[in-house]
Amino acid sequence: MSASTPLSDNAMQRKPTVIVTIGMAGAGKSTFVQRMNSHLHSRDPSRPPYILNLDPAVAHVPFEPNIDIRDTVNYKEVMKQYNLGPNGGILTALNLFTTKFDQVLDLVEKRSESVDHIILDTPGQIEIFTWSASGAIITDAIASSFPTVVAYIIDTPRTTAPATFMSNMLYACSILYKTKLPFILVFNKTDVEPHEFAIEWMQDFEAFQAALASHSGSRDSEGEPTYMNSLMNSMSLVLDEFYKHLKAVGVSSMTGDGIKEFFDVVEECRGTYEKEYLPELVAARAAREKSLQDVKEDSLNRFMKDLAVDRATNPQSTSNDRWESDEENNDDDDDDDTGDNLLIGEEPWPGQYIDVTRMRRQDEQINWPRPG
């Protein structure tokens, strides 16, 4: 994505922090976004965030997003047109939206002077964002333009069983290693279930193993630990290392409990982004530019060598190299017209390659920003 301004420490310092909310369906992402929104509104001085809704299938969001994917793509229409089920529809809608993400970044950049926080609400089903190319493109694009942190929302009342807790943590682990961004575990719904048990399990793996042992089904009929039990015991040791790289907070999106602490952690994580993520990003960019340059030089060298060999073996060839411009060009005019409407007028057929960058050129009405 090209919209980003060049990265430098100074430029980053004035930029707003991006919070990407990720989590299982029903964990409370959208409710949490609204809670952050109202917290930032009621701060003194009030600094409302800039909110992007990336869930095409949500019927109602409890906040007013500044940019809403639903204004651009109608996922039900996408389902119908491409013969897809709901998940395919959501994924395709997100893909279509991603093709326009440079425009979104432009809009966000324009507002970046006047906001302190940019918040992304992601689709209900976690894998649509975390295991798709679009999710990765959006995350990378935004993280290379702004200091970015991931808020991983956990449904605390539903994660009290050690096995569920562990699978949730493994999922978080996979996202951390994929994005490499500063990562906050947000134990949500603490009004229903306090999150202290989770913190204890994270800080003390023996406590977790004790919980595991006392859980029913952890021993077989002969009193030996079950396979699942031993597996989880070993994994808790592995995860111990992973827990050191994250921060955890308990919040209630319902009551607002813990939100202030969450924003303190966001501030800390912004520091981590600047110290750890940004230098890596700059280095990765430099490496990529160098390798592109190397490839260019290599192919130019080979071209020059081929040319020299060709000239040496066939000295007359220069006279044939001239391009006969006039006659050919005049009568060929109409054939050039392979431009815009390559697909228009043809009936789509299942499995057809669809060039999304050419879609809906004429009649699309992009209406990104919302008032407020």
Ligand X SMILES: Nc1nc2c(ncn2[C@@H]2O[C@H](COP(=O)(O)OP(=O)(O)O)[C@@H](O)[C@H]2O)c(=O)[nH]1
Binding-site partner at residue 31 among ligand X, Mg ion, none, CB < 5 to 8 Å by type? ligand X
Cα 66 → chain centroid: 18
Q: Residue 222 to residues 125, 227, 234, 368: CA-CA distances in angstroms?
A: 40, 13, 21, 63
Question: Rounded to whole angstroms, how far apart are CA atoms 148 and 133?
Answer: 19
Q: Does 261 engage in binding with ligand X (CB under 6 A)?
A: no
Q: Which residue's CB is nearer to Mg ion, number 22 or number 104?
A: 22
Q: Taking the complex as a whole, how short is the minimal distance between the CB of residue 260 and ligand X, in angstroms?
A: 15
- Tell me which residues in 189-208 interact with ligand X (CB under 6 A): 189, 191-192
Q: Is 254 in the site for ligand X (CB under 6 A)?
A: yes
One character per residue 1-30, x = contact with ligand X (rule: CB under 6 A): ----------------------x-xxxxxx
- Rounded Cα distance between 223 and 213, Å, is 11
Q: Is 127 in the site for ligand X (CB under 6 A)?
A: no
Residue 23 binds which entry of Mg ion, ligand X, none, CB below 5-8 Å type-dependent: ligand X
Among 68-76, 77-85, 184-192, 206-214, which window interacts with ligand X (CB under 6 A)? 184-192
150 binds ligand X (CB under 6 A): no
Q: What Cα–Cα distance (Å) separates residue 255 from each residue in 39, 40, 272?
A: 11, 15, 29
CA distances from 108 to 18, 73, 114 (A): 11, 19, 10
Please answer whether residues 97 and 134 qualify as being in contact, where contact means their C-beta atoms are separated by less than 8 angstroms: yes
Three-class secondary structure of residue 26 per DSSP:
coil
- Name which of 99, 87, 160 is nearest 126 in CA terms: 87
Phi and psi at residue 291, to the nearest 5°: -70, -35
Minimum CB separation of residue 55 from ligand X in Å reads 7
Letters for 12-41 (x = contact with Mg ion by CB under 5 A, - = none) are -----------------xx-----------
Per rule CB under 6 A, is residue 253 in the interface with ligand X? yes
Rank residues 147 and 258 by Cβ distance to ligand X and give the closer one: 258
Residues in the site for ligand X, rule: CB under 6 A?
A: 23, 25-31, 124, 188-189, 191-192, 252-254
